[in-house]
């Protein structure tokens, strides 16, 4: 894992490719020794899902239609040692006319992101 949780993680740390141009936003303690990492992009939900279908060579699962959330499993979930299943989750933040996910880095551009990618690496 990255020494400083505020530093962008490497693809080696995540165990998956990072969508080209996606901006690292933050990482959070998921407990049980896990972290999850958020990335923002202004590419569409559909583009991101198509990218991860190809990169991960799997269909993944549409978890919700509205707002659209698609999840790709990237490891085996072990309830006794993990808080979250290792996965890549893609969420559409423009659903229902929303302006997008607010950039947590105040004053930085873009002000909002259309799509958020959450990565929970396999530990």
Q: Could you tell me if residue 21 is left (phi over 0), alpha (psi between -120 and 50 degrees) or otherwise beta? A: left
Return the HEC string of 81-100: CCCCCCEEEEEECCHHHCCC
Residues 52, 79: Cα–Cα separation, whole Å: 25
pLDDT tens string 46-76 = 999 999 999 999 999 999 999 999 999 999 9
Number of folded domains that form the chain: 1
Evaluate the CA torsion angle 93, 72, 59, 9 in order and state its sign.
positive
Residue carrying the six token digits 């930085």: 108
In 26-107, alpha helices (H): 45-56
Question: Considering the domain boundaries, does residue 24 fall inside one?
Answer: yes
84 within a domain of the structure (yes/no): yes
How high is the pLDDT of residue 3? 58
Asked whether residue 5 is domain-assigned, the answer is no
Domain with 114 in it: 11-120
Q: Is residue 2 part of a domain?
A: no
Q: What pTM was estimated for this model as a whole?
A: 0.92
State yes or no: pLDDT of 117 exceeds 80: yes
* DSSP-based three-state secondary structure for 52: helix
6 found inside a domain: no
What span, in angstroms and rounded, lies between the C-alpha atoms of 23 and 96? 24
Residue 15 falls within a domain, yes or no? yes
């Amino acid at each position: 894992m990255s020494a400083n949780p505020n530093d962008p993680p490497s693809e080696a740390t995540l165990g998956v490719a990072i969508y080209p141009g996606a901006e690292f936003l933050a990482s959070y303690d998921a407990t049980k020794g896990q972290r999850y990492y958020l990335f923002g992009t202004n590419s569409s939900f559909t583009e991101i899902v198509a990218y991860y279908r190809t990169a991960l060579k799997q269909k993944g699962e549409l978890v919700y239609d509205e707002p659209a959330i698609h999840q790709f499993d990237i490891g085996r979930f072990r309830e006794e040692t993990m808080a979250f299943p290792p996965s890549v989750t893609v969420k559409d933040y423009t659903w229902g006319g929303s302006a997008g996910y607010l950039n947590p880095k105040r004053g930085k551009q873009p002000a909002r992101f259309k799509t958020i990618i959450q990565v929970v690496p396999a530990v």
